[in-house]
Structure 1
């Protein structure tokens, strides 16, 4: 009798558990819209999360809405998306305009460099003083980082250099034609230029700013409205977990085959040599730091931009970051 009673007790315990399993597994995932760029490393991490199902692993389904950085930031502001890839400097501007943004997880380091001809005589960025340099528009993060580097070397990017503003393709053409002495360029274009044998990196922004501030400059992070962050902490945790898992996959080199399959589409890399170099650089460019000391490093970079008049003063920059 005792054995029978024990069996019945066990059965009563197990049956609800067995019934609950499929029900939980069958629960609908929470679909969220995230604004991001279709190409480059922003597009890559979005595609990797989808391919590896790193979002569904954490109970959400990310619907990536592809757009440029400016449109992506405004998408959160206008309520078109729950979150967006954005630069910390963009978050500062949004806060100043009345949209209270919080940054929840890292994505990508700047990946920018000053690139010069291989036989150019310049040994440091300061050697370019007074020269023509190709740079991005003043409103971009790439320009912002170049201005901070100049400031830290007691130079003024606008007064001590002859800036020639242009977009990516035009900047490369300016350097190729010899119309400028250096260009501000990002990956994977920098890798392709260097691999041509005609050009070299004069100053790596990430290395330079890490030496000064203790961390490389963050080009891209994920931003959400403060109200959403406060009301949906579980959603914040799920999003940052999906991105965190993806970056761990990249840093561990477990995405090699996936990278090769996307090299042409997302990075315009074709030859085996380009793809190998691109894979190495891609691994290095994804950001895996977060926390108090990291926030302070980024705040110092932002504060430098504020002092230059490139960013508005929004008070305590610590409010931007969600630990």
Structure 2
């Protein structure tokens, strides 16, 4: 009887110990945003896993589907540790008192101006006075497109009639012919080109044309509350290094994007779009987090202030080196 009691007690203690270990592991995991299929960020999890890019055994990732519109709330509430933000969107929040800070790379700008194949328009300036569709007015996609367009003499607020809506609604408008063009991100742009639509400009190219820079500009980076960052500096450093490694792996082997086409929201029968992924989507992934990137972020904020997209430059720098 004593032996049986001892064994039962030992089993209970062992189970409790395993539960404690599992609970501790769960609590130490980084709760990081997972963009849904149909966005460039949806490549992160499948390729990090399949290519074993997370080489640090202490970096435990808990991917959480996060609505970009609710990301600040999730970060502030503690239900999400790490999200992604762009320069202008984050600067707007910082001016309102947010403590969120950028600490690592994520995506370069991959916005595209798309028209139908039979369209007479060959460049963005041809669309002055016309109607186009794009994402919400507060989205980084639109904000950065407006900044880049302004640098080549186009004011999207005044020179073009812009309809703002969800990606699905915008596609419907475009395919019905209710708008002359659409400004959208990858991989949606590649899906449209694969179906016969025509690209007339990349937002990144407009930026480079105006600034003389040779690399695609920053779109969004890894972000967390200053409180989380200060308490988890080593984890933040590991995470920033992982995303640099991810971008470098994609640039070295862009064909790997074909293997996760379905994770990106592309159907198996969209063979033309899948074939285009390596050349069109690979440049979207950042490989650096350094002074060059910081200079671009500063330039984006300065231009946003001149355009009135920001009322002022934030009192503090919105990025840090992890």
Shorter-chain TM-score bucket reads 0.7 to 0.9
Equivalent positions of 1:104-123 (< 5 A) are 104-123=103-122
Equivalent positions of 1:143-162 (< 5 A) are 143-162=142-161
- What is residue 183 of structure 2 aligned with on the other side? 184
TM-score (norm 2): 0.82
CA deviation after TM superposition for structure 1 residue 253, in Å = 0.7
Query: CA 1:58–1:314 in structure 2 vs 1: closer, same or farther (change >3 Å)?
Result: farther
Query: CA 1:255–1:113 in structure 2 vs 1: closer, same or farther (change >3 Å)?
Result: closer
TM-score (norm 1): 0.82
CA deviation after TM superposition for structure 1 residue 143, in Å = 1.3
Which of the pair has more CA radius of gyration? Answer: 1
Structure 2: runs of 5 or more not aligned = 1-23
State yes or no: 1:232 paired with 2:232. yes
Structure 1: runs of 5 or more not aligned = 1-26
In the alignment, the residues of structure 2 paired with residue 89 and residue 319 of structure 1 have an alpha-carbon distance, to the nearest angstrom, of: 10
8 Å CA contact 2:245, 2:287 repeated in 1: no
Query: CA 1:46–1:212 in structure 2 vs 1: closer, same or farther (change >3 Å)?
Result: farther
CA deviation after TM superposition for structure 1 residue 33, in Å = 1.0
Alpha-carbon deviations, 1:216-273, whole Å to 9, x = none? Answer: 33222100222333333211211112222222221111772xx444312322242333
CA deviation after TM superposition for structure 1 residue 53, in Å = 4.2
8 Å CA contact 2:289, 2:321 repeated in 1: no
The number of residues matched between the two structures is: 294
Equivalent positions of 1:35-184 (< 5 A) are 35-39=33-37, 40-55=39-54, 57-184=56-183
8 Å CA contact 1:34, 1:83 repeated in 2: yes
- What is residue 246 of structure 2 aligned with on the other side? 246
In the alignment, the residues of structure 1 paired with residue 147 and residue 250 of structure 2 have an alpha-carbon distance, to the nearest angstrom, of: 29
In the alignment, the residues of structure 1 paired with residue 91 and residue 204 of structure 2 have an alpha-carbon distance, to the nearest angstrom, of: 21
What SS does the corresponding residue of 1:267 show, helix, strand or coil? coil
8 Å CA contact 1:32, 1:61 repeated in 2: yes
Alpha-carbon deviations, 1:134-169, whole Å to 9, x = none? Answer: 122211111112211332133321221111222212
Query: CA 1:280–1:246 in structure 2 vs 1: closer, same or farther (change >3 Å)?
Result: same
8 Å CA contact 1:89, 1:311 repeated in 2: yes
8 Å CA contact 1:92, 1:312 repeated in 2: no
